[in-house]
Structure 1
Amino acid sequence: MTTPLFIGVDGGGTGCRARVEDAEGNVRGAGISGPATTRLGFDQAMESIETAMQGALEEAGQKPEDRASIHVGIGLAGLGRKGAREALEARPHAFASVSFATDGLIACLGAHSGQDGGIVIVGTGSFGLARVAGQEIRLGGYGFPISDEGSGADLGLQSIRLALRAYDGRLDSTPLLADVLARFGGDPAEAVAWMDKASATEYATFAPLVMRHADNGDPAGRRIVQGAAEQIDGLVRALVERGAPRIALIGGLSSAIEPWLAPDVRRKLKPVDSDAVSGAILMAREAAGSGASEASAI
């Protein structure tokens, strides 16, 4: 091959995407697969990544022997878990270089085209991340329920708490709280049984209900969403104080929560330039430019 190629991979908890681009930024192939997170185990995460990459490479017309000329950037959910990076870097690979980063960092790189900036992710979970002068700054995101304030899971948790208080007569009920309790057949014991097994994702299924009622003026809904917005405000302001010149709001709840943010915070926001896969490709290009041959391993 005479034209260098770059693969970017976004390995997340719900799915994995890969894309092949040439030196001019033209897309040559794309692939998708299932979840890729270290929480599922390293072998399963890497199997998903390999499946997505292989699909992208086949669409790009590449053969197995071509890998030695291809640079790879991989963003992976759960990479911050203790020992995860070291375990992945111990794996051999056939590429020119493979660089790892968290899925949050590649999203930040893509959002700002590799320039300094930050992101606040508002989805099932929430956290803030920035890259400033080559340094990565991360705030929050320690996991639900001890962290992830203002997230979809947090909205669900707060709505259930208030619904149970209303059931007790400790506060006035509202249409939102009645709807929340109705999901448990009006029986708090059912809510307790559900809680014993519920994941953050299941708590987050209540978020659209909360947002809809809040937008319609429901007092409890407004109370919950205003509290969540204050948490997101805090993440944005903290990243700006740490030197991030621009912030992008991303995630499944970002568009819904943005109108609830403080005016000064909304003025600090900007649209994303590109997606997380683009951020991973930028990382691969950086490794190629630095002459790295074994930056990380897959």
Structure 2
Amino acid sequence: MSTPVSPNSTQLYIGIDGGGTSCRARIEDAEGNVLGQGTAGPATTRIGVDSSMQAVRTASEAAVMDASLMPSALGHLIAGVGLAGIDRKGAREALMSVTHPFQDVVFASDANVACLGAHRGRDGGIVVLGTGSIGFASVKGRELRIGGYGFPISDEGSGADLGLQAVRLALRAHDGRISPSPFLLEVIEKLGSDPVALVAWAEQATAKDYASLAPVALTYAEARDPFAEEIVAEGARQAGVLIRSLVEFGAPHISLLGGLASRMVQWLSPEVAHFLSPPEADAVAGALLLARRKGSVPIDSSGQRKGAQIC
């Protein structure tokens, strides 16, 4: 049975992590008890702010349903929303003008909420290695972002970047410029038996498509295929550059996050790996922390807080 939520009820919070692959939402009460969770498709602003906010709404409605709350409960939740692509031109302005379903909301980048979650709001940094890559740190009120400008011009060491390097080597192997290895032969088999087919694939391929080759590269690298090792080792070197930059910025703790993190960590040099510490919580926890901070803002004379904001 659905439970109503009224303005006199205990305040509830919702944290949302809107990434390029999926959107996750979680509702908690004032004591931090999880009441409900929901998911939706991509929420990056690259798909358009309206589509991004629709994914946020869909995930939030699923969390409300999971918590056995009435649909109208969304209007009584204070939300923290982390979105991929929030720094794209015009995205912040569009978010400030868009209609949202919450009592109040604060937006931030997906890297920001991931860092907040990883270190429970304390100073620290993260390097994310997923479809894309980025380095982010928050130290004594200062923030540093490194990379993460999007594939193919940025995102070194990411899944998409590993996949791109694999395709390039596969083409060289086909031309006879290098000797084909089992890894490169599998890449060619996956994408097309000749350059024409491979180029046709590349013309339509997204970053996610390229990133689908990253697990293949990692598996062959672990089996000591020389070309796979070359690709993965270079990706790890690029991740190491991000980590060292965050250390130099003063981040006392750094966590390696993302879908490739657990497999890439073994390729980091010992000098870099010793800077890493496990994340304490996920990005949704970071978004919930933002929501709680938003909820602590005093209500003005009109009975409202300052309204939607971006941090």
Q: TM-score range by the shorter chain?
A: over 0.9
For residues 111 and 152 of structure 1, what CA distance do their matches in structure 2 show?
A: 21
Q: Report the residue type matching 1:278 in the other structure.
A: A
Find the counterpart in structure 2 of residue 169 from structure 1: 176
Find the counterpart in structure 1 of residue 116 from structure 2: 109
Task: Confirm or deny: 8 A CA contact 1:184 1:191 kept in the other structure.
Answer: yes
TM-score, normalization by structure 1: 0.93
Cα displacement (A) at 1:2? 3.9
Task: Confirm or deny: 8 A CA contact 1:150 1:229 kept in the other structure.
Answer: yes
Find the counterpart in structure 1 of residue 306 from structure 2: 294
Q: How does 1:31-46 map to 2 (within 5 A)?
A: 31-46=38-53
Find the counterpart in structure 1 of residue 280 from structure 2: 273
For residues 218 and 66 of structure 1, what CA distance do their matches in structure 2 show?
A: 54
Distance 1:142 1:94, change over 3 A: closer
Distance 1:181 1:52, change over 3 A: closer
Gaps of at least 5 residues in structure 2 are 1-7, 300-304
Find the counterpart in structure 2 of residue 192 from structure 1: 199
Indicate the SS of the match to 2:88: coil
Find the counterpart in structure 1 of residue 3 from structure 2: none
Question: Number of residue pairs matched?
Answer: 298
Distance 1:196 1:70, change over 3 A: closer
**Greater mean alpha carbon deviation, residues 184-193 or residues 239-248:** 184-193
Distance 1:152 1:94, change over 3 A: closer
Task: Confirm or deny: 8 A CA contact 1:6 1:71 kept in the other structure.
Answer: yes
Among candidates 15, 19, 22, match of residue 22 of structure 2: 15
Say if 2:153 is the partner of 1:141: no
Gaps of at least 5 residues in structure 1 are none
Indicate the SS of the match to 1:121: strand
Per-residue displacement from partner, 1:241-271 (whole Å, max 9, x unpaired)?
1111111111111111100001021111111
Q: How does 1:3-152 map to 2 (within 5 A)?
A: 3-63=10-70, 69-93=76-100, 95-152=102-159
Task: Confirm or deny: 8 A CA contact 1:93 1:297 kept in the other structure.
Answer: no
TM-score, normalization by structure 2: 0.90
How big is the alpha-carbon RMSD for the aligned residues of Structure 1 and Structure 2?
A: 1.9
Find the counterpart in structure 1 of residue 189 from structure 2: 182
For residues 12 and 192 of structure 1, what CA distance do their matches in structure 2 show?
A: 28
Among candidates 228, 236, 244, match of residue 229 of structure 1: 236
**Greater mean alpha carbon deviation, residues 147-156 or residues 50-59:** 50-59
Indicate the SS of the match to 1:196: helix
For residues 154 and 297 of structure 2, what CA distance do their matches in structure 1 show?
A: 37
Per-residue displacement from partner, 1:15-67 (whole Å, max 9, x unpaired)?
22111111110112222222212222222211221122223234434446655
Distance 1:228 1:290, change over 3 A: same
Task: Confirm or deny: 8 A CA contact 1:117 1:244 kept in the other structure.
Answer: yes
Per-residue displacement from partner, 1:198-243 (whole Å, max 9, x unpaired)?
1111111111111111111111111111111100000000011111
Q: Report the residue type matching 1:29 in the other structure.
A: G
Per-residue displacement from partner, 1:69-124 (whole Å, max 9, x unpaired)?
53211111221111212211123556442100011111111111011111111111
Find the counterpart in structure 1 of residue 226 from structure 2: 219
- Give % identity: 52
**Greater mean alpha carbon deviation, residues 149-158 or residues 30-39:** 30-39
Q: Report the residue type matching 1:24 in the other structure.
A: E
Indicate the SS of the match to 1:99: strand
For residues 97 and 18 of structure 1, what CA distance do their matches in structure 2 show?
A: 15
